[in-house]
Chains A and B, each alone.
Chain A
Amino acid sequence: MADFDERALIERCRTGDDIAFSELVDRYKNLVYGVVWRMVSDRSQTDDLAQEVFLKVYRGLPYFRGDAQLSTWIFRIVANVCSEARSRRRAVVPALTDLREPGAVDHAFADFELRERLDKAIAQLPDNYRLLIAAHYLEGVQYEALAEALNMPIGTVKTHLYRAKRRLRELLQ
């Protein structure tokens, strides 16, 4: 989305234009929904938290200065909402026992069963790693945007992602 359009959309939202806010939600709903889903793995909780994210976006729009991209700012809100939700109730993660199947993993990552195992392995990651994997791979948020949203140097974001992937490989072997 062009920067000019984004600013125009934000300005329209600030004037209380519900249609403009609908456009904003429509544009970013899959980014928000996808990341939240990967963080909590529960349909009803995902619905609730994703809506809460946009409620916070609505409340915060008057104070959004436009220093960062709108998507970066929204992602920061997603990270905060997920963090608050985790502190309220720890996510239930599946057991690790069915992840290990030596020898078969490297040859069939595309297989449905293995995709399920990959999902379960991701669920075993620490929260900060899972958030990075969810955002970077599932929704294509780039290193720079992640660094800005999470207030980290790009090098740290990359290091965390590398460690997360190494941990995933260990879980899958």
Chain B
Amino acid sequence: MTCKDAIELVEAIAAGDLVPDGDVRAHFETCPLCASALASARRLEAALAVREAPAAPTRFVSLVLQRVRRERWRAEEHVDRMFNLAMAAASVIVAAGVFALMNLSGVVATASDTLSIIASVRGEVVRQAAPSVNTYVAAGGLLASALGMWWWAERRLTL
């Protein structure tokens, strides 16, 4: 057993992974250099074993849960957005299909005549409804505010 061989075993012996016997033991008992290295390794082992690890902050669990909930909400929001997009695309396709079908069957030509009749009637309707415009605007504003508050409250609850 040479010092070079013994030094290779120092950490394993200090960690308790290797029990020195025979030549190894004899070498560490007689070689002051290797014995000193082993003593140093044992002190390091002891120092590492007693080092304290910092504990997680007290609010750590609730912070993690907040992030998890936010992530879950984002995932749901993504699914909702994709669903809305799919519905919009489907509506456009259906509308285009219906229009193409009506065009082919000549309904569109008839409809243009109908539209000119509707336009003349619309002028009359606007003239009669003009005095109540302020009431309609106020009601619309109230409805928009209520919808906005509902959306905000639901968003807060989800978060």
Contact status B56-A29, CB under 8 Å: yes
0/1 interface trace, chain B 13-57, chain A, CB 8 Å (1 if under):
011010000000000000000000101110111111111011111
Q: Which residues of A contact B (CB under 8 A)?
A: 18, 21-22, 25-26, 29-30, 32-35, 37-38, 47, 50-51, 54-55, 58-59, 105-106, 109-110, 114-115, 118-119, 133, 137-139, 158, 161-163, 165-166, 168-169, 172-173
A55 with B67: CB separation less than 8 A: yes
If the complex has contacts A30-B56, A166-B11, are A51 and B44 also in contact, measured as CB distance less than 8 A?
no
Q: What residues of A have a CB within 8 angstroms of the CB of B49 in the complex?
A: 137
* Total interface residues in chain B, CB < 8 Å: 33
**Segment from B58-66, B92-100, B102-110 that makes contact with A:** B58-66
Q: Dominant SS at the A interface?
A: helix
Structural contact, A138 and B53, CB atoms closer than 8 A: yes
List the A side residues contacting B69 at CB < 8 Å.
18
Once A162-B11, A165-B44 are accepted as A-B contacts, the answer to whether A51 and B64 lie under 8 Å apart by CB is: yes
Residues of B within 8 A of A137 (CB): 48-49, 51
Q: Which residues of B contact A51 (CB under 8 A)?
A: 60, 63-64, 67
Residues in chain A near residue B10, CB distance under 8 A: 166
**6 A-B interface contacts by CB (under 8 A):** A25-B60, A30-B55, A105-B40, A162-B15, A165-B11, A165-B14
A169 to B48, CA, bound (A): 12
A-B contact count (CB 8 A): 100
Per-residue A-contact encoding for B61-104, CB less than 8 Å = 1, 0 else: 10111011101000000000000000000000000000000000
- B12 at the A/B interface (Cβ < 8 Å)? yes
A residues in contact with B45, CB < 8 Å? 165
Main SS at interface, chain B: helix
Least CB separation from A172: chain B residue = B44
A123 and B118 CA atoms in complex are apart in Å by 81
Beta-carbon nearest neighbor of A19 in chain B: B65
Task: Name the residue on A nearest B8 (C-beta).
Answer: A162
**Given the interface contacts A18-B65, A25-B65, does A138 sit within 8 Å of B51 by beta carbon?**
yes
Q: Could you say which residues of chain A place their CB within 8 Å of the CB of B54?
A: 33-34, 37
Chain B residues positioned under 8 Å from A59 (CB to CB): 71
- Contact for A38 among B40, B50, B53, B64, CB less than 8 A: B53
A87 vs B118: C-alpha distance when bound (angstroms): 67
- Contact residues in B for A58 (Cβ distance below 8 Å): 68, 71
Q: Point out the residues of chain B lying under 8 angstroms from A106, CB to CB.
A: 39-40, 43
